Amino acid sequence: MIFSFKRMNAIFQKDLKDLTKNIYVGTSLLMPVLIAFMYGGMEDISIDAHYLIINLTLVAVAFFVQSALIAEEREKNTLRGLMLSPATIPEILGGKSLVSLFTTLITIVLCAMISGYEPNNLLFIGVGIIISSFFYLALGTLVGLLARTVIEASVIMLPVMFIFGFGSFLELFVEKYSILTFVKFMPNIQLINFAEKVQAGSGIGETWSHLAFILVWFIGAAILTVFVYKKREMDD
């Protein structure tokens, strides 16, 4: 079946309208902005602080908005109609992801302006944040397909926010508890390490491995998402 930008755009427009009507989901955009204002009044904000805000945005917007939009479709039993329509998986998931992606990037730019974050290499940082966004969108889609309601998606968001939003604090315990070594390879930590090297003036040769780790996380989440989506097509 030929990919149709028209069908994907129709799905994008529908989800954009749904988001503007959903006050509950929309309020998730305020959290990272408020935290950015808190840090914005301070001097010499560290990279860790800037990326606490960015990682929280990725969880609260890319992950949660995406999972909530899809969970809402399941709750209203309209997702099944989309699955049975002529639209393909890339069109459906692509159209739904565009809303969350644009909202995430706009929120990150706004937060960076408020907190005063000025990366040394905007292109490198932009690529890192976009790849990270893809991971959280895939994870949000996966949770949305598994959750039966928006409330369930909200409950699942809490541990995800702790692990991926505040996961950098776990690094403090890595040396003491070897079982936490895996924390170093988490996408949020890799993004921080990537940003620190870019800020120090490192080039692609010193930073590509961090992007590669984040990309692997995205590919793994995407594969699981497509698997669950196909299962939902048969089970629902």
What is the tens place of the pLDDT at every residue in 18-30? 777 766 666 777 8
Structure tokens at 15: 């989800």
Residue 77 CA to its chain's centroid (Å) = 24
List the one residue out of 217, 166, 208 whose CA is nearest residue 187: 217
- CB atoms near residue 190 (< 10 Å): 23
- Taking only the tens place, the pLDDT of each residue in 134-184 is 999 999 999 998 888 888 888 888 888 878 876 666 666 666 766 667 778
Task: Report the distance separating Cα 6 and Cα 171, nearest Å.
Answer: 45
* Structural contact between residues 11 and 87, judged by C-beta atoms closer than 8 angstroms: yes
Amino acid symbol at 180: L
For CA atoms 204, 197, 32, 183, give the dihedral sign: positive
Q: Collapsing DSSP states into helix, strand and coil, what is residue 181?
A: helix
The CA-CA-CA angle for residues 45, 190, 54, to 5°, reads 45
Global pTM exceeds 0.85: yes
Tokens of 150: 């928006």
